[in-house]
């Protein structure tokens, strides 16, 4: 007999880094490697079950779809066996040699950025197969693919940066993973310890899960049960199993319906928004099932894009079992599911916001971005979605939120429009000259802080027939004539300031809305809001974005009165002051691009003022 040929390979750099972290981790919950290996076995069985539906030729067709775990205290091993799809040589190289999975990749990226210990992150994300090296001296994977002519292969690694692949002798379909435990991880060969861990993490594996022959789980599909019979613990356990996580879902939405289409739906909103924490764009994570059989765990069109923060299950008996994933994506059934589920989910959120505004506010703080994205992109549901928007407002304390509905109910009889103001922060907006008029008139203004909010406002453009307008571009002075007609002196000052400031201002006029500020700048560009301009400049720093503003002066303010007299004595100095007032106005309005020029000018003003 010839010697078995063994190929030696190096792990991809990222895997090596990941394994270093995993091996040296002081992470206390090392037990999660069991959850990870069970979940891989379960995935492999799901895939096989799916392939069976497609009526492909399958090797070892009659093997039961189950997972067997065995422990040996003597050998100090724990072994995971499944009769799933197995892996080819190429798959072994890719799946257990690189980081193909986006979850592990973002884990590594998160580690680079983060200052926390790797262990905390392992707990939050799970690191898949490689987590076995938290407890292993050596891991062996025996595998055989489901195709008639697949090879039987053995993969082995001691976690030292390399792995080996050679041909094996067995001939069962599927995968067996033998974990040889480190001295300090002996407890994982004790069946009593392992049983507890399986019950904790893997109670909802949809295949029989056996430990040394004894079945551990009940393989029921929780989403098909009546919700009155399901405890919070069961829901939580199912959620954690499905998402490989440890958190408690903040919302769950479980319903059953027969029309317009048969569906059992169980949706969860997680505790945290991973996108917001910087882990990259989420993939759809509501799996599509047909009578408990997983059709697609990450279906693209099942729900609108903005709902990608949801986890859970949609099971519809109307979906034909032998449909291919590709046709699935465009099928009219999926469109019907999409529309029915989305509508109900939005209604559910609205209801939750009424029942418990505080929890909803908390949800909105973390997941509000998705709602806004929905308003901006999901035309079909925009009208329903706008009811889910929440804002800070001039009538509320920082952190308290109002809806459009709340805003409308607080409006005076003669108020025709809804006002909002974009700013960088609460105290900046409170002190903005743009607020003076509204404060004086006791008109509520919605405060927004991010360009996406402004984008949402301009996308909506009205709510309940009331126009939504930015408080910095509205021509409020024109609504009621200024009480005092400007004097000749004031008119002349305006004309002169326009000359001094040149192209940068569209117009300088005496204000009828300013109370405390000497001057204020307003966006006089009807085509583009200041927020949009900010975005455009951010995207392309060299972009020529027009920044025409209107300057209003407060003729009652001492500074303006002084400016008139300074202009008579020293026009040059008055010019510098006018420039400065203009910059101050831009700064206060949040329009200033480059505040650096200001400092030098202030110094020269101070110098010259000494000599007036």
Give me the residues that bind ligand ADP (CB under 6 A), please: 36, 40-41, 43-44, 82, 84-87, 95-96, 101, 103, 128-129, 175
Alpha-carbon distance values, 303 to 39, 306, 339, 452 (Å): 25, 8, 8, 22
Q: Is 168 helix (H, G, I), strand (E, B) or coil?
A: coil
Nearer to ligand ADP, 132 or 394 (CB): 132
Stretch that binds Mg ion, among 34-42, 89-97, 183-191, 527-535 (CB under 5 A): 34-42
For 106, other C-beta atoms within 10 Å of its C-beta total 18
Nearer to ligand ADP, 103 or 361 (CB): 103
Residues 329, 332, 337, CA angle at the centre, nearest 5°? Answer: 85
Q: Which helix (H) or strand (E) element contains residue 467?
A: strand 466-470
Say if residues 434 and 421 touch (Cβ distance below 8 Å): yes
Nearer to Mg ion, 128 or 159 (CB): 128
209: region left, alpha or beta (phi > 0 left; psi from -120 to 50 alpha): beta
Say if residues 83 and 48 touch (Cβ distance below 8 Å): yes
Nearer to ligand ADP, 154 or 401 (CB): 154
Nearer to ligand ADP, 84 or 159 (CB): 84
Nearer to ligand ADP, 87 or 179 (CB): 87
Q: Is 14 helix (H, G, I), strand (E, B) or coil?
A: helix
Nearest to 517 by CA among 553, 493, 549: 553
When asked if residue 128 is in the footprint of Mg ion (CB under 5 A), the reply is yes
Cα distance between residue 576 and residue 530, in whole Å = 26
CB of 35 to ligand ADP, least distance (A): 10
Nearer to Mg ion, 40 or 106 (CB): 40
Which partner in Mg ion, ligand ADP, none is near 87 (CB below 5 to 8 A by kind)?
Answer: ligand ADP
Residue carrying structure tokens 């300090």: 184
CB of 179 to ligand ADP, least distance (A): 12
Tokens of 574: 């008055």
Which partner in Mg ion, ligand ADP, none is near 473 (CB below 5 to 8 A by kind)?
Answer: none
Which partner in ligand ADP, Mg ion, none is near 472 (CB below 5 to 8 A by kind)?
Answer: none
Alpha-carbon distance values, 314 to 267, 272, 338, 380 (Å): 8, 22, 10, 21
CB of 317 to Mg ion, least distance (A): 28
CB of 407 to Mg ion, least distance (A): 47
Strand order in the sheet with 505-510: 505-510, 549-553, 519-523
CB of 586 to ligand ADP, least distance (A): 51
Say if residues 560 and 520 touch (Cβ distance below 8 Å): no
* Residue closest to ligand ADP when measured from CB atoms: 128
Nearer to Mg ion, 103 or 365 (CB): 103
When asked if residue 40 is in the footprint of Mg ion (CB under 5 A), the reply is yes
CB of 99 to Mg ion, least distance (A): 12
CB of 190 to ligand ADP, least distance (A): 23
CB of 145 to ligand ADP, least distance (A): 9
Nearest to 553 by CA among 605, 478, 609, 498: 498
Cα distance between residue 420 and residue 463, in whole Å = 13
CB of 69 to ligand ADP, least distance (A): 12
Residue carrying structure tokens 């569209």: 506
CB of 453 to Mg ion, least distance (A): 38
Which partner in ligand ADP, Mg ion, none is near 140 (CB below 5 to 8 A by kind)?
Answer: none
Stretch that binds Mg ion, among 33-41, 229-237, 430-438, 564-572 (CB under 5 A): 33-41
Stretch that binds Mg ion, among 39-47, 167-175, 340-348, 384-392 (CB under 5 A): 39-47
CB of 202 to Mg ion, least distance (A): 12
Alpha-carbon distance values, 236 to 201, 358, 453 (Å): 11, 21, 33
When asked if residue 42 is in the footprint of Mg ion (CB under 5 A), the reply is no
Nearer to Mg ion, 41 or 388 (CB): 41
Which partner in ligand ADP, Mg ion, none is near 103 (CB below 5 to 8 A by kind)?
Answer: ligand ADP
Which partner in Mg ion, ligand ADP, none is near 203 (CB below 5 to 8 A by kind)?
Answer: none
CB of 97 to ligand ADP, least distance (A): 10
Q: 192: burial class by Cβ within 10 Å (0-12, 13-18, 19+)?
A: exposed
Nearer to ligand ADP, 128 or 287 (CB): 128
Q: Is 294 helix (H, G, I), strand (E, B) or coil?
A: strand
* CA 153 to chain centroid: 40
Q: Which helix (H) or strand (E) element contains residue 46?
A: helix 32-53
Which partner in Mg ion, ligand ADP, none is near 392 (CB below 5 to 8 A by kind)?
Answer: none
Residue carrying structure tokens 């490689």: 130
Nearer to Mg ion, 107 or 582 (CB): 107
Which partner in ligand ADP, Mg ion, none is near 374 (CB below 5 to 8 A by kind)?
Answer: none
Beta bridge partners of 521: 551
Nearer to ligand ADP, 45 or 402 (CB): 45
* Residue 456 CB partners (closer than 8 Å, separation 6+): 372, 375, 376, 389
CB of 84 to ligand ADP, least distance (A): 5
Tokens of 117: 């210990």
Cα distance between residue 470 and residue 417, in whole Å = 10
Tokens of 476: 């409020």
Stretch that binds Mg ion, among 91-99, 121-129, 382-390, 600-608 (CB under 5 A): 121-129
Nearer to ligand ADP, 68 or 552 (CB): 68
Which partner in Mg ion, ligand ADP, none is near 82 (CB below 5 to 8 A by kind)?
Answer: ligand ADP
Residue carrying structure tokens 């599927």: 174
Sign of CA dihedral 532, 536, 542, 543: negative
When asked if residue 175 is in the footprint of Mg ion (CB under 5 A), the reply is no
292: region left, alpha or beta (phi > 0 left; psi from -120 to 50 alpha): left
CA atoms lying within 13 Å on the CB side of residue 328: 24
Which partner in Mg ion, ligand ADP, none is near 41 (CB below 5 to 8 A by kind)?
Answer: ligand ADP
Say if residues 249 and 268 touch (Cβ distance below 8 Å): yes
Largest Cα–Cα separation, the chain: 111
Stretch that binds Mg ion, among 9-17, 125-133, 418-426, 524-532 (CB under 5 A): 125-133
Nearer to ligand ADP, 36 or 453 (CB): 36
CB of 87 to ligand ADP, least distance (A): 5
When asked if residue 84 is in the footprint of Mg ion (CB under 5 A), the reply is no
Binding interface with Mg ion (CB under 5 A)? 40, 128
């Amino acid at each position: 007999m010839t010697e078995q040929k063994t190929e030696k390979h190096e792990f991809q750099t990222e895997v090596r880094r990941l394994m270093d972290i995993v091996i040296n981790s002081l992470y206390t919950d090392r037990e999660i490697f069991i959850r990870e290996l069970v979940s891989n076995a379960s995935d492999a069985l799901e895939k096989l079950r799916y392939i069976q539906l497609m009526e492909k030729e399958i090797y070892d067709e009659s093997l039961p779809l189950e997972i067997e775990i065995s422990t040996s205290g003597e050998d100090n091993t724990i072994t995971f066996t499944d009769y799933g799809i197995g892996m080819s040589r190429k798959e072994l190289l890719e799946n257990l040699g690189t980081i193909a999975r986006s979850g592990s990749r973002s884990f590594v990226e998160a580690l680079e950025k983060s200052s926390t210990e790797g262990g905390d992150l392992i707990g939050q994300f799970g690191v898949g197969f490689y987590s076995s090296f938290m407890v292993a001296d050596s891991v062996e994977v025996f595998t055989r693919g489901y195709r008639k002519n697949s090879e039987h292969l053995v993969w082995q690694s001691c976690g030292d940066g390399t792995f080996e692949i050679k041909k094996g002798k067995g001939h069962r379909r599927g995968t067996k993973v033998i974990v040889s435990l480190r001295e300090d991880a002996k407890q994982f060969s004790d069946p009593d310890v392992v049983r507890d861990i399986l019950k904790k993490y893997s109670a909802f594996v949809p295949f029989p899960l056996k430990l040394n022959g004894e079945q551990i789980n009940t393989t029921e599909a929780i989403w098909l049960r009546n919700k009155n019979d399901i405890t919070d613990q069961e829901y939580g356990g199912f959620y954690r199993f499905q998402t490989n996580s440890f958190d408690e879902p903040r919302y769950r939405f479980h319903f059953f319906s027969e029309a317009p289409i048969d569906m059992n739906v169980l949706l969860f909103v997680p505790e945290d928004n991973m996108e917001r924490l910087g882990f990259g764009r989420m993939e759809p994570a509501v799996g599509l099932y047909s009578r408990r059989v997983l059709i697609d765990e990450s279906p693209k069109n099942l729900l609108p894009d903005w709902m990608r923060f949801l986890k859970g299950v949609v099971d519809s008996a109307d979906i034909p079992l032998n449909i291919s994933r590709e046709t699935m994506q465009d099928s009219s059934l999926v469109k019907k599911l999409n529309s029915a589920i989305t509508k109900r989910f939005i209604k559910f959120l609205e209801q939750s916001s009424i029942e418990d505004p505080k929890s909803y506010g908390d949800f909105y703080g973390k997941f509000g971005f998705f709602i806004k994205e929905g308003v901006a992109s999901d035309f079909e549901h925009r009208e329903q979605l706008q009811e889910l928007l929440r804002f800070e407002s001039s009538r509320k304390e920082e952190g308290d939120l109002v809806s459009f509905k709340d805003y409308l109910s607080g409006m005076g009889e003669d108020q025709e429009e809804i006002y909002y103001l974009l700013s960088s922060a609460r105290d900046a907006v409170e002190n903005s000259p743009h607020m003076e008029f509204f404060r004086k008139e006791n008109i509520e203004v919605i405060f927004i802080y991010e360009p996406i909010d402004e984008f949402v406002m301009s996308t909506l453009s009205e709510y309940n027939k009331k126009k939504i307008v930015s408080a910095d571009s509205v021509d409020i002075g024109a609504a009621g004539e200024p009480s005092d007609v400007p004097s000749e002196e004031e008119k002349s000052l305006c004309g002169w300031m326009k000359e001094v400031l040149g192209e940068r201002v569209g117009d300088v006029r005496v204000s009828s809305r300013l109370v405390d500020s000497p001057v204020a700048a307003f966006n006089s560009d009807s085509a583009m809001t200041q927020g949009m301009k900010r975005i455009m400049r951010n995207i392309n720093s060299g972009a020529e974005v027009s920044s025409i503003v209107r300057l209003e002066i407060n003729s009652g303010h001492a500074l303006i009165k002084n400016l008139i007299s300074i202009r008579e004595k020293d026009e040059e100095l008055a010019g510098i002051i006018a420039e400065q007032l203009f910059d101050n106005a831009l700064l206060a309005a949040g329009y200033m691009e480059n505040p650096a020029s200001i400092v030098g000018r202030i110094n020269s003003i101070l110098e010259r003022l000494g000599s007036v």
